[in-house]
Amino acid sequence: MPDDVMTSHNEPDNLTTAEALRLNLEDRHGDILKRRDDLVAAFDRVPESIDNDEVEQKATDFIKQCKMASKNTNAARVAEKEVFLEGGRTVDGYFKAISADLDGVAGKANALVTTYKQAKAKAEREAREQAEREAREAEAEAKRLAEEAEANIQDEGDLENAVEADEARVAAKNAAAEAKQNAEAKAADLSRSRSDAGTVSSLTTRWVHAEDSLNRDALDLEALRQHLPALALHQAVRGFVKAGGRELPGVRIYEKTENVVR
């Protein structure tokens, strides 16, 4: 980066980089500042209202001068900024290339881990679903035995057997409920692991749409209405107006007239 972009002969030594840059710009672009000051001051001579062609033409010339000065200012800004943009692009490219290599190998490793965890979670879920089925069968059998024991109570021994059978029924019911809860566990719970280094990982599940399946003509826009951001709506309305649309429920479209100086 050229030294004259960042330094000036009149700069104190204790300035921040931003402060030094600002002073440097002021030092090298005094003509732009003077032109700005002259034109802003000249606006005081513009009347509060225009009532004849001569004043209108002078005001129009003044507007053109301001726009030209603004254009020159913007050109100087672009030129000054380019050296920083080039430096920024160089810095971004350097570090992004490193990150891309790291993200690439991490992504490949993660794909392998994901495949393993998916298989592991599937096997675990199948085992839990089988355990739930067996628990439900055990619950049904315990209930049948409890009802049978209750129906056959004839003496104190039968009563004791019925109580024990009912306790077994309750235990089987609780076990079945727990087995059902285990079978309905999320993929994250079925796959969570912690490495010796303390790294925790698990599967995450989310719903997404297939981007290559989007059919503009078949898409239900009414279902999407409440999810469309205001920016997208404004862009759509601008496209509608540009295509010639002049009336649209939900928005006011009007003809706007303003002076343009060329």
Residue 78 maps to a domain:
yes
Q: What is the pLDDT of residues 213-228, one digit of tens each?
A: 999 999 999 999 999 9
Do residues 132 and 175 make contact, with C-beta atoms less than 8 angstroms apart?
Answer: no
* CA–CA dist 112, 118 (Å, integer): 10
Does residue 88 sit in the same domain as residue 114?
no
> Does one domain contain both 67 and 93?
yes
Structure pTM?
A: 0.67
Beta bridge partners of 201: 193
Of 149, 187, 155, the residue nearest 169 (C-alpha): 149
pLDDT score at 155: 87
Q: What is the pLDDT of residues 164-203, one digit of tens each?
A: 999 999 999 999 999 999 999 999 999 999 999 999 999 9
Q: Give CA–CA dist 101/94, Å, rounded.
A: 11
Considering the domain architecture, whether residues 26 and 52 belong to the same structural domain is answered as: yes
Q: Tell whether 57 and 96 lie within a shared domain.
A: yes
Task: Please check whether residue 243 lies inside any domain of the structure.
Answer: no
Q: Domain for residue 139, yes or no?
A: yes
The last residue of one of the domains, among 176, 194, 212, is: 194
**72 and 153 together in one domain:** no
At residue 184, φ and ψ (nearest 5 deg) are: -95, 10
Distance CA 202, CA 185 (A): 13
Among candidate residues 194, 214, 239, the one where a domain is terminated: 194
Residue 12: exposed, middle, or buried by beta-carbon count in 10 A (0-12, 13-18, 19+)? exposed
Q: Are residues 26 and 40 in the same domain?
A: yes
Contact 190, 184 (CB under 8 A): no
Domain that holds residue 166: 106-194
Per-residue pLDDT tens, the chain, 262 aa: give them: 555 555 555 556 689 999 999 999 999 999 999 999 999 999 999 999 999 999 999 999 999 999 999 999 999 999 999 999 999 999 999 999 999 999 999 999 999 999 999 999 999 999 999 999 999 999 999 999 999 999 998 988 889 999 999 999 999 999 999 999 999 999 999 999 999 999 999 999 999 999 999 999 999 999 999 999 999 999 999 999 999 999 999 999 999 999 999 8
Whether 54 is in a domain gets the answer yes
Q: Quick one: 110 and 189 in the same domain?
A: yes
Look at residue 133 and tell me if it is in a domain: yes
Q: How many domains does the chain have?
A: 2
Q: Are residues 23 and 50 in the same domain?
A: yes
Residues 53 and 70 in one domain: yes
Among 194, 218, 237, residue at a domain's last position:
194
Q: Are residues 22 and 45 in the same domain?
A: yes
- One domain for residues 46 and 128: no
